[in-house]
Amino acid sequence: MEKSLSAAVVVVGAALGLAFVTRSASVPAAAHQRGGGQATVTPSSAKPVPRTPWDGKPDLTGTWGGPLPATGTPTSEERASSVTALARVYQPWALEKSNALAYLEDPRLHCGPWGFPRYIDGASLAVPRNAFYFLLQIVQAPKETDVLVEYTYAGYRAIPTDGSTHPKTIVPSYFGDSVGHWEGDTLVVDVKGFNGKIWLASGKLGTRPPGDLGGGTITSDALHEVERWRLVDGDTLEYQATIEDPKVLTGSWTTPRYRLRRAPPGAVVHEAVCLDPEDLGVMKAATKEQK
């Protein structure tokens, strides 16, 4: 990163205390304009669900997210209710550990991927921003569906849909190992093989004071997720996940239903990578200003 902050775009999402950095060269000038000017555009009438020519299943292919508000996106009250439900199923020791975490211990401030479902929560935020962030791109093929993400970590998930099962040996990772199958028009994805380093949600557990940015939502390597992806219409993607983690939770937790709008034409997934200690320094400085 250049020593001057002009070499980067630093955007702080006050609603969740977010701070992130991406090189301005990776975001076209048009994207900066779209981020502000089109944030209040009213979506056109619902489009029919596109279908693949090889099996007639809904075609999830496209770029999703961006600054256009998503109809049906969980409200702040729904998010708060979801986090409260999550707190209820944490084992006492895990809840205590989660609430004792400092804000700067968030994995995203240490160059770690957000992981799912937390990334979807970021992608669904209907707040104005100066460019496209938290985009995800889906590429659907006959035997595999790939999901590409950008924020802080330019990564991807390969989801086989050819009847494959999880391998006997899985190398633990932030995104886990995914296998998918179709239940009607819904893509159901089973995910396991996590490294225990991601947080489940943005928000506070328990009764922390208002404005206190501390706390986290820890996981273990026993984390297991079942995701459900479906198209509500041609321009609206719905996501929901059910979470189990017997080392940390006493039962399952189901996320709200997130709905992402199809990004406008020209929106593409860019690099947004935590490159070096100086990048991290800028991120930490931005977050401290919000405290």
Q: pLDDT band at 78, cuts 50/70/90? A: confident
Strand ranges, E, within the chain? 8-13, 18-23, 62-64, 136-140, 144-149, 155-160, 177-183, 186-192, 224-233, 236-244, 253-254, 258-261
Degrees, nearest 5: CA angle 281-282-285: 85
Cα 272 to Cα 124, 224, 278, 291: the distances in Å are: 18, 27, 14, 24
CA 100 to chain centre: 24
Higher pLDDT, 260 or 282: 260
Residue 139 pLDDT: 97
pLDDT, tens digit, 9 for 90 and up, residues 112-145: 888 999 988 877 764 444 455 678 999 999 999 9
Measured between alpha carbons, how far is 77 from 21 in angstroms, rounded to an integer?
A: 28
Kindly report, residue by residue over 9-42, the tens digit of the pLDDT. Answer: 333 333 333 333 333 333 332 332 223 223 333 4
Q: pLDDT digits over 144-163, tens only?
A: 999 998 866 668 899 999 99
Is residue 64 within 8 Å of 137, Cβ to Cβ?
A: yes
Q: How much is the pTM?
A: 0.79
Choice between 35 and 57, residue whose per-residue pLDDT is larger: 57
* Beta bridge pairs of residue 19: 12
pLDDT tens-digit readout, 212-250: 667 889 999 999 999 999 999 999 999 999 999 999 999
Reported confidence tier of residue 265, pLDDT bands at 50, 70, 90: confident
- Determine the average pLDDT of the residues in 105-110: 81
- Whether 8 contacts 282, CB under 8 Å: yes
Whether the predicted pLDDT of 100 surpasses 60: yes
Q: Could you state, in order of their start, the residue ranges of all structural domains in the chain?
A: 50-272
If one compares 287 and 173, the residue with the highest pLDDT of the two is 173
The full DSSP string for 101-144 is --GGG-GGGGT----TTHHHHHHT-----SS--S-EEEEE-SSE
Place of tokens 């041609």: 234
